[in-house]
Structure 1
Amino acid sequence: MKIGIVTDSSADIPAELAHKMGINVVPLYVRFGDDIFRERVTITDEQFYDKLINGPIHPVTIQPSPQDFVEVYKKLAAESDAIISIHISSKLSGTDNSALLAKSMLENACPITVIDSQFISVSLGLIVLMAAEAAQKGKDLDEILAMGNNAIPKTQLFGLLDTLKYLLMGGRIGKAKALVGSLLGVKPILALKGGEVVPSAQARNRAKGIDRLLDDLKKIPDVVDIAVAHSTTPDDAQKLASQISTIVKDVPVRIVRLGTTLGVHIGPGALFIACRQKL
Protein backbone atom coordinates (compact mmCIF):
# COMPACT_ATOMS: atom_id res chain seq x y z
CA MET A 1 0.00 0.00 0.00
CA LYS A 2 1.49 3.34 -1.06
CA ILE A 3 0.69 6.31 1.18
CA GLY A 4 1.35 9.83 -0.13
CA ILE A 5 2.49 12.39 2.44
CA VAL A 6 1.67 16.09 2.04
CA THR A 7 2.51 19.08 4.21
CA ASP A 8 2.93 22.82 3.78
CA SER A 9 6.02 24.99 3.67
CA SER A 10 5.55 26.17 7.25
CA ALA A 11 7.00 22.80 8.32
CA ASP A 12 10.45 24.15 7.38
CA ILE A 13 11.60 20.83 5.97
CA PRO A 14 14.65 21.41 3.73
CA ALA A 15 13.87 20.70 0.07
CA GLU A 16 16.51 17.97 -0.21
CA LEU A 17 15.15 16.13 2.81
CA ALA A 18 11.55 16.45 1.61
CA HIS A 19 12.55 14.97 -1.74
CA LYS A 20 14.46 12.13 -0.10
CA MET A 21 11.51 11.27 2.15
CA GLY A 22 8.88 11.61 -0.58
CA ILE A 23 7.13 14.53 1.09
CA ASN A 24 5.02 16.81 -1.09
CA VAL A 25 5.22 20.41 0.14
CA VAL A 26 2.52 22.99 -0.68
CA PRO A 27 3.97 26.51 -0.33
CA LEU A 28 2.32 29.26 1.63
CA TYR A 29 2.53 32.83 0.33
CA VAL A 30 4.07 35.96 1.80
CA ARG A 31 2.98 39.43 0.71
CA PHE A 32 4.99 42.64 0.93
CA GLY A 33 2.50 45.31 -0.11
CA ASP A 34 1.51 44.53 -3.71
CA ASP A 35 4.21 41.89 -4.16
CA ILE A 36 3.23 38.28 -3.43
CA PHE A 37 5.75 35.45 -3.23
CA ARG A 38 5.51 31.68 -2.80
CA GLU A 39 7.60 30.58 0.16
CA ARG A 40 10.95 29.14 -0.95
CA VAL A 41 9.75 29.09 -4.57
CA THR A 42 9.82 32.72 -5.69
CA ILE A 43 11.57 34.10 -2.61
CA THR A 44 14.47 32.63 -0.67
CA ASP A 45 14.83 32.75 3.10
CA GLU A 46 17.73 35.18 2.71
CA GLN A 47 15.69 37.52 0.51
CA PHE A 48 12.75 37.32 2.88
CA TYR A 49 14.70 38.27 6.00
CA ASP A 50 16.46 41.09 4.17
CA LYS A 51 13.09 42.57 3.16
CA LEU A 52 11.64 41.92 6.63
CA ILE A 53 14.45 43.70 8.45
CA ASN A 54 15.35 46.44 5.99
CA GLY A 55 12.20 46.99 3.95
CA PRO A 56 9.54 49.63 4.63
CA ILE A 57 6.58 47.24 4.56
CA HIS A 58 5.78 44.57 7.14
CA PRO A 59 4.69 41.41 5.33
CA VAL A 60 1.71 39.16 5.89
CA THR A 61 1.41 35.46 5.21
CA ILE A 62 -1.33 33.95 3.04
CA GLN A 63 -2.51 30.36 3.16
CA PRO A 64 -2.37 28.21 0.02
CA SER A 65 -5.59 28.16 -1.98
CA PRO A 66 -7.74 25.02 -2.20
CA GLN A 67 -6.69 24.81 -5.84
CA ASP A 68 -3.04 24.64 -4.78
CA PHE A 69 -3.91 21.51 -2.82
CA VAL A 70 -6.13 20.10 -5.57
CA GLU A 71 -3.19 20.14 -7.99
CA VAL A 72 -0.95 18.27 -5.54
CA TYR A 73 -3.66 15.81 -4.49
CA LYS A 74 -4.60 14.99 -8.08
CA LYS A 75 -1.04 14.20 -9.05
CA LEU A 76 -0.39 12.19 -5.91
CA ALA A 77 -3.71 10.30 -6.10
CA ALA A 78 -2.68 8.86 -9.46
CA GLU A 79 0.21 7.02 -7.82
CA SER A 80 -1.03 6.47 -4.24
CA ASP A 81 -3.58 4.32 -2.46
CA ALA A 82 -4.21 7.04 0.13
CA ILE A 83 -2.96 10.51 1.10
CA ILE A 84 -2.16 11.90 4.54
CA SER A 85 -1.96 15.70 4.62
CA ILE A 86 -0.45 17.16 7.81
CA HIS A 87 -0.53 20.92 8.38
CA ILE A 88 0.16 24.00 10.46
CA SER A 89 -2.10 24.66 13.45
CA SER A 90 -5.56 25.83 12.40
CA LYS A 91 -5.30 28.49 15.12
CA LEU A 92 -2.36 30.05 13.28
CA SER A 93 -3.37 29.67 9.63
CA GLY A 94 -6.26 28.74 7.35
CA THR A 95 -4.04 26.24 5.53
CA ASP A 96 -5.77 23.27 7.14
CA ASN A 97 -9.13 24.57 5.92
CA SER A 98 -7.84 24.98 2.37
CA ALA A 99 -6.69 21.36 2.44
CA LEU A 100 -10.13 20.22 3.67
CA LEU A 101 -11.85 22.21 0.92
CA ALA A 102 -9.55 20.65 -1.66
CA LYS A 103 -10.41 17.20 -0.31
CA SER A 104 -14.14 17.94 -0.73
CA MET A 105 -13.50 18.91 -4.36
CA LEU A 106 -11.94 15.51 -5.11
CA GLU A 107 -14.60 13.03 -4.09
CA ASN A 108 -13.49 10.45 -6.64
CA ALA A 109 -9.83 10.57 -5.69
CA CYS A 110 -8.10 8.16 -3.33
CA PRO A 111 -8.85 8.56 0.40
CA ILE A 112 -7.41 11.81 1.79
CA THR A 113 -6.99 12.45 5.52
CA VAL A 114 -6.18 15.99 6.67
CA ILE A 115 -4.54 16.37 10.08
CA ASP A 116 -4.29 19.61 12.06
CA SER A 117 -0.90 19.13 13.72
CA GLN A 118 -1.48 21.98 16.21
CA PHE A 119 2.11 22.99 15.48
CA ILE A 120 4.22 25.04 13.10
CA SER A 121 7.76 24.99 11.75
CA VAL A 122 10.18 22.30 12.93
CA SER A 123 7.69 20.78 15.38
CA LEU A 124 5.28 20.19 12.48
CA GLY A 125 8.27 18.96 10.50
CA LEU A 126 9.10 16.31 13.11
CA ILE A 127 5.59 14.85 12.86
CA VAL A 128 5.60 14.91 9.06
CA LEU A 129 9.02 13.27 8.84
CA MET A 130 7.91 10.52 11.22
CA ALA A 131 4.86 9.84 9.02
CA ALA A 132 6.97 9.86 5.85
CA GLU A 133 9.46 7.41 7.34
CA ALA A 134 6.62 5.10 8.32
CA ALA A 135 5.19 5.31 4.79
CA GLN A 136 8.56 4.44 3.29
CA LYS A 137 8.75 1.41 5.59
CA GLY A 138 5.43 0.16 4.23
CA LYS A 139 3.20 0.89 7.23
CA ASP A 140 -0.49 0.90 6.34
CA LEU A 141 -2.84 3.88 6.48
CA ASP A 142 -4.32 3.17 9.91
CA GLU A 143 -0.88 2.65 11.45
CA ILE A 144 0.49 5.93 10.10
CA LEU A 145 -2.61 7.87 11.11
CA ALA A 146 -2.38 6.48 14.62
CA MET A 147 1.30 7.38 14.81
CA GLY A 148 0.63 10.92 13.57
CA ASN A 149 -2.21 11.58 15.98
CA ASN A 150 -0.31 10.05 18.90
CA ALA A 151 2.76 12.14 18.11
CA ILE A 152 0.92 15.46 18.52
CA PRO A 153 0.75 15.39 22.37
CA LYS A 154 4.30 14.01 22.41
CA THR A 155 5.73 16.98 20.46
CA GLN A 156 6.89 20.29 21.86
CA LEU A 157 8.07 23.61 20.46
CA PHE A 158 9.60 26.41 22.51
CA GLY A 159 11.90 29.24 21.66
CA LEU A 160 13.67 32.48 22.46
CA LEU A 161 12.86 35.73 20.71
CA ASP A 162 15.15 38.71 20.44
CA THR A 163 12.18 41.07 20.40
CA LEU A 164 8.37 41.05 20.50
CA LYS A 165 8.25 43.71 17.79
CA TYR A 166 7.47 41.37 14.92
CA LEU A 167 5.06 39.24 16.92
CA LEU A 168 3.02 42.34 17.69
CA MET A 169 3.12 43.56 14.09
CA GLY A 170 2.12 40.15 12.80
CA GLY A 171 -0.91 40.00 15.06
CA ARG A 172 -0.87 36.24 15.70
CA ILE A 173 0.36 36.36 19.25
CA GLY A 174 -2.49 34.53 20.98
CA LYS A 175 -1.99 34.42 24.73
CA ALA A 176 1.51 35.83 24.29
CA LYS A 177 -0.07 39.29 24.34
CA ALA A 178 0.03 38.91 28.13
CA LEU A 179 3.74 39.64 27.83
CA VAL A 180 3.25 43.02 26.23
CA GLY A 181 4.27 45.88 28.47
CA SER A 182 6.31 43.65 30.76
CA LEU A 183 9.24 42.86 28.52
CA LEU A 184 11.25 46.06 28.28
CA GLY A 185 14.88 45.04 28.20
CA VAL A 186 14.22 41.29 28.58
CA LYS A 187 14.01 38.39 26.13
CA PRO A 188 10.68 36.57 25.77
CA ILE A 189 10.49 32.78 25.74
CA LEU A 190 7.41 31.38 24.03
CA ALA A 191 5.91 27.95 23.52
CA LEU A 192 3.18 26.45 21.38
CA LYS A 193 0.40 24.91 23.46
CA GLY A 194 -2.94 23.75 22.17
CA GLY A 195 -2.11 25.13 18.75
CA GLU A 196 -1.42 28.70 19.82
CA VAL A 197 1.48 30.82 21.03
CA VAL A 198 1.68 31.18 24.81
CA PRO A 199 4.19 32.91 27.10
CA SER A 200 6.57 30.51 28.80
CA ALA A 201 9.18 32.61 30.57
CA GLN A 202 11.43 35.63 30.20
CA ALA A 203 15.16 36.10 30.50
CA ARG A 204 17.31 39.10 31.33
CA ASN A 205 19.52 38.54 28.30
CA ARG A 206 20.06 36.17 25.38
CA ALA A 207 22.57 33.94 27.15
CA LYS A 208 20.23 33.36 30.07
CA GLY A 209 17.41 32.76 27.62
CA ILE A 210 19.37 29.99 25.91
CA ASP A 211 20.15 28.50 29.32
CA ARG A 212 16.41 28.46 30.05
CA LEU A 213 15.70 26.62 26.79
CA LEU A 214 18.23 23.96 27.76
CA ASP A 215 16.78 23.70 31.27
CA ASP A 216 13.30 23.18 29.79
CA LEU A 217 14.64 20.48 27.47
CA LYS A 218 16.20 18.61 30.39
CA LYS A 219 12.72 18.17 31.87
CA ILE A 220 11.43 16.29 28.81
CA PRO A 221 12.00 12.51 29.00
CA ASP A 222 12.36 9.95 26.20
CA VAL A 223 13.22 12.36 23.38
CA VAL A 224 13.66 10.44 20.12
CA ASP A 225 13.76 13.27 17.60
CA ILE A 226 14.95 16.85 17.94
CA ALA A 227 15.72 19.91 15.86
CA VAL A 228 16.97 23.45 16.31
CA ALA A 229 15.66 26.28 14.16
CA HIS A 230 16.96 29.82 13.75
CA SER A 231 15.86 32.86 11.80
CA THR A 232 19.14 34.71 11.25
CA THR A 233 21.77 33.28 13.61
CA PRO A 234 23.22 30.01 12.26
CA ASP A 235 26.25 30.16 14.57
CA ASP A 236 24.01 30.38 17.63
CA ALA A 237 21.95 27.47 16.28
CA GLN A 238 25.05 25.35 15.82
CA LYS A 239 26.24 26.14 19.34
CA LEU A 240 22.81 25.32 20.76
CA ALA A 241 22.74 22.01 18.86
CA SER A 242 26.12 21.10 20.35
CA GLN A 243 24.82 21.86 23.85
CA ILE A 244 21.71 19.79 23.20
CA SER A 245 23.86 16.83 22.17
CA THR A 246 25.24 16.66 25.71
CA ILE A 247 21.70 16.47 27.10
CA VAL A 248 19.92 14.27 24.57
CA LYS A 249 22.52 11.65 23.74
CA ASP A 250 22.49 9.41 20.67
CA VAL A 251 19.82 11.49 18.93
CA PRO A 252 21.06 13.56 15.96
CA VAL A 253 20.13 17.24 16.18
CA ARG A 254 18.94 18.73 12.90
CA ILE A 255 19.49 22.43 12.27
CA VAL A 256 17.09 24.26 9.97
CA ARG A 257 16.25 27.82 9.11
CA LEU A 258 12.87 29.24 10.03
CA GLY A 259 10.97 30.21 6.91
CA THR A 260 8.63 33.05 6.11
CA THR A 261 5.53 31.65 7.84
CA LEU A 262 6.97 31.88 11.33
CA GLY A 263 9.62 34.44 10.44
CA VAL A 264 6.99 37.12 9.79
CA HIS A 265 5.96 36.93 13.43
CA ILE A 266 9.23 36.34 15.27
CA GLY A 267 11.78 38.37 13.30
CA PRO A 268 15.57 38.14 13.44
CA GLY A 269 17.55 36.53 16.23
CA ALA A 270 15.00 33.85 17.13
CA LEU A 271 16.03 30.36 18.26
CA PHE A 272 13.63 27.45 18.67
CA ILE A 273 13.84 23.86 19.85
CA ALA A 274 11.39 21.21 18.69
CA CYS A 275 11.39 17.70 20.11
CA ARG A 276 9.30 14.57 19.90
CA GLN A 277 9.06 12.01 22.66
CA LYS A 278 8.83 8.26 22.24
CA LEU A 279 5.31 7.13 21.37
Structure 2
Amino acid sequence: MTVKIITDSTSDITAEEGAKLGITVAPLTVMFGRESFLDRVTITTEEFYRRLTTQDVFPTTTQPSPAAFAELYNKLAEETDEILVINLSSKLSGTYQSAVSAIDMVKKNCRVEVIDSQFVAMGQGLVVLAAANAAQQGASLDELTGFVRDALGRCHWITYFDTLKYLAKGGRIGKAQGLLGSVLSIKPILTVKEGEIHPVTRLRSKSAGIEYLYNFVTSFQKIEEIAVEHTTLPDEADRLAERLSAAFPNVNIRRSIVSPVLGTYGGPDAIAVTVLEAR
Protein backbone atom coordinates (compact mmCIF):
# COMPACT_ATOMS: atom_id res chain seq x y z
CA MET A 1 0.00 0.00 0.00
CA THR A 2 1.13 3.56 -0.71
CA VAL A 3 2.01 5.62 2.36
CA LYS A 4 -0.48 8.46 2.81
CA ILE A 5 0.84 11.97 3.52
CA ILE A 6 -0.85 14.52 5.77
CA THR A 7 0.28 18.10 6.28
CA ASP A 8 -1.40 21.24 7.58
CA SER A 9 -2.58 24.35 5.79
CA THR A 10 0.44 26.42 6.84
CA SER A 11 2.47 24.40 4.30
CA ASP A 12 0.80 26.66 1.70
CA ILE A 13 -0.26 23.59 -0.24
CA THR A 14 -3.93 24.02 -1.10
CA ALA A 15 -6.40 21.17 -0.67
CA GLU A 16 -6.84 21.08 -4.45
CA GLU A 17 -3.10 20.75 -5.05
CA GLY A 18 -2.85 18.17 -2.31
CA ALA A 19 -5.62 16.01 -3.77
CA LYS A 20 -3.74 15.74 -7.08
CA LEU A 21 -0.60 14.58 -5.28
CA GLY A 22 -2.16 12.31 -2.66
CA ILE A 23 -1.61 14.83 0.17
CA THR A 24 -4.31 15.45 2.78
CA VAL A 25 -4.23 19.03 4.11
CA ALA A 26 -5.51 19.58 7.67
CA PRO A 27 -6.76 23.17 7.97
CA LEU A 28 -5.98 25.38 10.92
CA THR A 29 -8.59 27.96 11.97
CA VAL A 30 -8.45 31.75 11.67
CA MET A 31 -10.84 33.96 13.64
CA PHE A 32 -12.01 37.55 13.29
CA GLY A 33 -13.69 38.24 16.61
CA ARG A 34 -16.42 35.60 17.00
CA GLU A 35 -16.28 34.55 13.35
CA SER A 36 -14.16 31.46 12.72
CA PHE A 37 -13.01 30.08 9.39
CA LEU A 38 -11.12 26.99 8.29
CA ASP A 39 -7.91 28.06 6.58
CA ARG A 40 -8.52 28.18 2.81
CA VAL A 41 -11.67 26.07 3.22
CA THR A 42 -14.33 28.50 4.44
CA ILE A 43 -12.32 31.66 3.78
CA THR A 44 -10.29 32.44 0.67
CA THR A 45 -6.92 34.16 0.74
CA GLU A 46 -8.47 37.10 -1.12
CA GLU A 47 -11.22 37.56 1.46
CA PHE A 48 -8.79 37.13 4.35
CA TYR A 49 -6.35 39.78 3.12
CA ARG A 50 -9.22 42.15 2.31
CA ARG A 51 -10.38 41.86 5.92
CA LEU A 52 -6.85 42.09 7.29
CA THR A 53 -6.18 45.37 5.50
CA THR A 54 -9.59 47.04 5.88
CA GLN A 55 -10.93 45.96 9.28
CA ASP A 56 -9.85 46.95 12.78
CA VAL A 57 -10.40 43.45 14.23
CA PHE A 58 -7.07 41.65 14.63
CA PRO A 59 -7.35 37.98 13.62
CA THR A 60 -6.29 35.08 15.82
CA THR A 61 -5.64 31.42 15.01
CA THR A 62 -5.89 27.97 16.51
CA GLN A 63 -4.62 24.52 15.61
CA PRO A 64 -6.72 21.51 14.57
CA SER A 65 -7.89 19.40 17.51
CA PRO A 66 -6.63 15.86 18.12
CA ALA A 67 -10.13 14.69 17.14
CA ALA A 68 -9.78 16.40 13.77
CA PHE A 69 -6.51 14.57 13.10
CA ALA A 70 -8.00 11.30 14.34
CA GLU A 71 -10.83 11.65 11.84
CA LEU A 72 -8.27 12.02 9.04
CA TYR A 73 -6.22 9.07 10.30
CA ASN A 74 -9.24 6.79 10.48
CA LYS A 75 -10.43 7.81 7.04
CA LEU A 76 -7.02 7.17 5.46
CA ALA A 77 -6.63 3.92 7.42
CA GLU A 78 -9.35 2.54 5.14
CA GLU A 79 -6.87 2.90 2.26
CA THR A 80 -3.44 2.30 3.84
CA ASP A 81 -1.66 0.89 6.87
CA GLU A 82 0.99 3.65 7.01
CA ILE A 83 0.56 7.41 7.38
CA LEU A 84 3.22 10.14 7.54
CA VAL A 85 2.29 13.52 9.04
CA ILE A 86 4.51 16.57 8.47
CA ASN A 87 3.52 19.64 10.50
CA LEU A 88 4.70 23.18 11.06
CA SER A 89 7.14 23.97 13.85
CA SER A 90 5.95 22.84 17.28
CA LYS A 91 7.46 26.06 18.69
CA LEU A 92 5.01 28.13 16.65
CA SER A 93 1.81 26.09 17.00
CA GLY A 94 0.21 23.25 18.92
CA THR A 95 -0.62 21.47 15.63
CA TYR A 96 2.21 18.95 16.03
CA GLN A 97 1.04 17.98 19.52
CA SER A 98 -2.54 17.54 18.30
CA ALA A 99 -1.30 15.25 15.54
CA VAL A 100 0.70 13.16 18.02
CA SER A 101 -2.15 12.95 20.54
CA ALA A 102 -4.51 11.69 17.84
CA ILE A 103 -2.44 8.55 17.20
CA ASP A 104 -4.06 6.80 20.17
CA MET A 105 -7.47 7.40 18.57
CA VAL A 106 -6.75 5.33 15.46
CA LYS A 107 -9.24 2.46 15.34
CA LYS A 108 -7.57 0.27 12.71
CA ASN A 109 -4.13 -1.29 12.63
CA CYS A 110 -2.39 1.66 10.99
CA ARG A 111 1.06 3.02 11.82
CA VAL A 112 1.26 6.82 12.05
CA GLU A 113 4.50 8.80 12.23
CA VAL A 114 4.46 12.55 12.93
CA ILE A 115 7.39 14.81 12.02
CA ASP A 116 7.92 18.33 13.38
CA SER A 117 9.26 20.14 10.30
CA GLN A 118 10.51 23.07 12.41
CA PHE A 119 9.49 25.22 9.44
CA VAL A 120 6.44 27.06 8.14
CA ALA A 121 5.09 27.96 4.71
CA MET A 122 7.01 26.56 1.74
CA GLY A 123 9.93 25.71 4.03
CA GLN A 124 7.56 22.96 5.09
CA GLY A 125 5.65 22.72 1.81
CA LEU A 126 8.51 21.88 -0.54
CA VAL A 127 9.54 18.98 1.70
CA VAL A 128 5.95 17.70 1.86
CA LEU A 129 5.70 17.80 -1.94
CA ALA A 130 8.98 15.93 -2.31
CA ALA A 131 7.81 13.32 0.23
CA ALA A 132 4.53 12.84 -1.66
CA ASN A 133 6.45 12.23 -4.85
CA ALA A 134 8.67 9.66 -3.09
CA ALA A 135 5.57 7.95 -1.63
CA GLN A 136 4.00 7.65 -5.07
CA GLN A 137 7.21 5.99 -6.26
CA GLY A 138 6.78 3.31 -3.60
CA ALA A 139 8.90 4.51 -0.66
CA SER A 140 8.07 2.85 2.66
CA LEU A 141 7.20 4.80 5.81
CA ASP A 142 10.68 4.22 7.25
CA GLU A 143 12.28 5.34 4.00
CA LEU A 144 10.05 8.41 3.89
CA THR A 145 10.85 9.50 7.44
CA GLY A 146 14.56 9.35 6.63
CA PHE A 147 13.97 11.14 3.33
CA VAL A 148 12.01 13.95 5.02
CA ARG A 149 14.60 14.52 7.75
CA ASP A 150 17.31 14.72 5.10
CA ALA A 151 15.26 17.13 2.96
CA LEU A 152 14.52 19.40 5.95
CA GLY A 153 18.27 19.77 6.42
CA ARG A 154 18.52 20.96 2.82
CA CYS A 155 15.68 23.46 3.06
CA HIS A 156 16.24 27.21 3.53
CA TRP A 157 13.48 29.81 4.03
CA ILE A 158 13.67 33.57 4.49
CA THR A 159 11.00 36.25 4.43
CA TYR A 160 10.80 39.98 3.87
CA PHE A 161 8.40 41.64 6.31
CA ASP A 162 7.00 45.12 5.73
CA THR A 163 6.18 45.33 9.44
CA LEU A 164 6.64 43.24 12.58
CA LYS A 165 3.36 44.48 14.05
CA TYR A 166 1.38 41.35 13.20
CA LEU A 167 4.11 38.94 14.27
CA ALA A 168 4.43 40.75 17.61
CA LYS A 169 0.66 40.95 18.22
CA GLY A 170 0.33 37.26 17.49
CA GLY A 171 3.08 36.34 19.95
CA ARG A 172 5.22 34.56 17.34
CA ILE A 173 8.12 37.01 17.07
CA GLY A 174 10.64 34.69 18.76
CA LYS A 175 14.29 35.77 18.55
CA ALA A 176 13.35 38.78 16.40
CA GLN A 177 12.03 40.56 19.50
CA GLY A 178 15.03 42.88 19.51
CA LEU A 179 13.98 44.39 16.17
CA LEU A 180 10.76 45.85 17.60
CA GLY A 181 12.49 49.00 18.79
CA SER A 182 13.91 49.71 15.33
CA VAL A 183 13.11 52.79 13.28
CA LEU A 184 9.75 52.37 11.53
CA SER A 185 11.29 52.52 8.05
CA ILE A 186 13.50 49.50 8.72
CA LYS A 187 12.33 46.37 6.88
CA PRO A 188 13.37 43.07 8.49
CA ILE A 189 14.41 39.84 6.82
CA LEU A 190 13.59 36.88 9.05
CA THR A 191 14.12 33.13 8.97
CA VAL A 192 13.32 30.06 11.08
CA LYS A 193 16.08 28.34 13.04
CA GLU A 194 15.39 25.30 15.21
CA GLY A 195 11.70 26.03 14.90
CA GLU A 196 11.78 29.68 16.03
CA ILE A 197 11.69 33.00 14.20
CA HIS A 198 15.17 34.55 13.97
CA PRO A 199 16.36 37.87 12.50
CA VAL A 200 18.65 37.79 9.45
CA THR A 201 19.16 41.45 8.62
CA ARG A 202 17.45 44.84 8.38
CA LEU A 203 17.04 46.91 5.24
CA ARG A 204 15.58 50.29 4.45
CA SER A 205 13.18 49.57 1.60
CA LYS A 206 11.00 46.94 -0.01
CA SER A 207 13.12 46.97 -3.14
CA ALA A 208 16.26 46.31 -1.09
CA GLY A 209 14.44 43.51 0.69
CA ILE A 210 13.42 41.81 -2.55
CA GLU A 211 16.94 42.18 -3.91
CA TYR A 212 18.22 40.49 -0.75
CA LEU A 213 15.85 37.57 -1.37
CA TYR A 214 17.11 37.28 -4.94
CA ASN A 215 20.75 37.29 -3.84
CA PHE A 216 19.98 34.73 -1.13
CA VAL A 217 18.60 32.26 -3.66
CA THR A 218 21.35 32.83 -6.22
CA SER A 219 24.00 32.14 -3.56
CA PHE A 220 23.16 28.42 -3.81
CA GLN A 221 25.02 26.34 -6.37
CA LYS A 222 22.80 23.25 -6.59
CA ILE A 223 19.05 23.68 -6.25
CA GLU A 224 16.30 21.08 -6.50
CA GLU A 225 13.33 23.45 -6.24
CA ILE A 226 12.50 27.07 -5.41
CA ALA A 227 9.33 28.64 -4.00
CA VAL A 228 8.28 32.29 -4.10
CA GLU A 229 5.22 33.29 -2.07
CA HIS A 230 3.61 36.49 -0.90
CA THR A 231 0.78 37.91 1.18
CA THR A 232 -0.32 40.94 -0.89
CA LEU A 233 2.53 41.51 -3.38
CA PRO A 234 1.60 39.46 -6.48
CA ASP A 235 3.39 41.68 -8.99
CA GLU A 236 6.62 41.85 -7.02
CA ALA A 237 6.51 38.09 -6.41
CA ASP A 238 5.95 37.44 -10.13
CA ARG A 239 8.89 39.64 -11.09
CA LEU A 240 11.13 37.95 -8.54
CA ALA A 241 10.09 34.52 -9.80
CA GLU A 242 10.85 35.60 -13.37
CA ARG A 243 14.34 36.78 -12.40
CA LEU A 244 15.02 33.55 -10.56
CA SER A 245 13.74 31.53 -13.50
CA ALA A 246 16.26 33.31 -15.74
CA ALA A 247 19.03 32.55 -13.25
CA PHE A 248 17.94 28.90 -12.84
CA PRO A 249 16.24 27.91 -16.12
CA ASN A 250 16.20 24.20 -15.26
CA VAL A 251 14.77 24.54 -11.74
CA ASN A 252 11.05 24.42 -10.99
CA ILE A 253 9.85 27.60 -9.26
CA ARG A 254 6.59 27.32 -7.32
CA ARG A 255 4.43 30.40 -6.86
CA SER A 256 1.95 30.56 -4.03
CA ILE A 257 0.04 32.88 -1.73
CA VAL A 258 0.66 32.70 2.01
CA SER A 259 -2.28 31.08 3.79
CA PRO A 260 -4.65 33.14 5.97
CA VAL A 261 -3.32 31.55 9.18
CA LEU A 262 0.27 32.53 8.35
CA GLY A 263 -0.89 35.89 6.97
CA THR A 264 -2.24 36.63 10.44
CA TYR A 265 1.39 36.91 11.56
CA GLY A 266 3.10 37.97 8.34
CA GLY A 267 0.77 40.86 7.66
CA PRO A 268 0.36 42.57 4.29
CA ASP A 269 3.25 43.18 1.87
CA ALA A 270 5.36 40.21 2.95
CA ILE A 271 7.25 38.05 0.47
CA ALA A 272 9.22 34.84 1.05
CA VAL A 273 11.58 32.54 -0.80
CA THR A 274 12.43 28.91 -0.10
CA VAL A 275 15.33 26.93 -1.51
CA LEU A 276 15.43 23.14 -1.44
CA GLU A 277 19.06 22.31 -2.12
CA ALA A 278 19.87 19.39 -4.37
CA ARG A 279 21.78 16.52 -2.82
TM-score of the superposed pair, with normalisation by structure 1: 0.97
What is the deviation of 1:278? Answer: 1.8
Q: Which moved more, 1:170-179 or 1:136-145?
A: 136-145
Matching residue of 1:2: 2
Q: Give identity over the alignment, percent.
A: 44
Whole-angstrom distance in 2 between the partners of 1:32 and 1:83:
33
What is the deviation of 1:215? Answer: 1.5
Whole-angstrom distance in 2 between the partners of 1:36 and 1:61:
9
Equivalence map 1:64-103=2 (5 Å): 64-103=64-103
Matching residue of 1:252: 252
What is the deviation of 1:218? Answer: 2.2
Whole-angstrom distance in 1 between the partners of 2:43 and 2:225:
29
1:265 aligned partner, one-letter code = Y
Q: Deviations over 1:61-100 (max 9, x none)?
A: 1000001101110010110120000000001100000000
Report SS of the residue matched to 1:118: coil
Report SS of the residue matched to 1:171: coil
Give every structure 1 segment of 4 or more consecutive aligned residues whose post-TM-superposition deviation is greater than 4 Å: none
Q: Deviations over 1:153-199 (max 9, x none)?
A: 11111011111121121110000111111242121111111111111
Equivalence map 1:172-211=2 (5 Å): 172-211=172-211
Matching residue of 1:49: 49
Whole-angstrom distance in 2 between the partners of 1:178 and 1:74:
44
1:273 is the counterpart of 2:273: yes
1:129 is the counterpart of 2:139: no
Matching residue of 2:219: 219
1:113 aligned partner, one-letter code = E
Matching residue of 1:243: 243
Q: Deviations over 1:100-133 (max 9, x none)?
A: 0101222643100000001111111101101100
Structure 1 pair 107/15, CA: closer, same or farther in 2 (3 Å)?
closer
Q: Deviations over 1:3-48 (max 9, x none)?
A: 0100011111133321110100110001111111111111111111
Q: Deviations over 1:191-215 (max 9, x none)?
A: 1111111110111111111111112
Which segments of 5 or more consecutive residues in structure 2 lack a partner in the other structure?
none
CA RMSD of aligned residues (A): 1.2
TM-score of the superposed pair, with normalisation by structure 2: 0.97
Q: Which moved more, 1:241-250 or 1:84-93?
A: 241-250
Whole-angstrom distance in 1 between the partners of 2:221 and 2:178:
29
Structure 1 pair 69/208, CA: closer, same or farther in 2 (3 Å)?
same
2:48 aligned partner, one-letter code = F
Q: Is the 8 A contact 1:74 1:109 kept in 2?
A: no
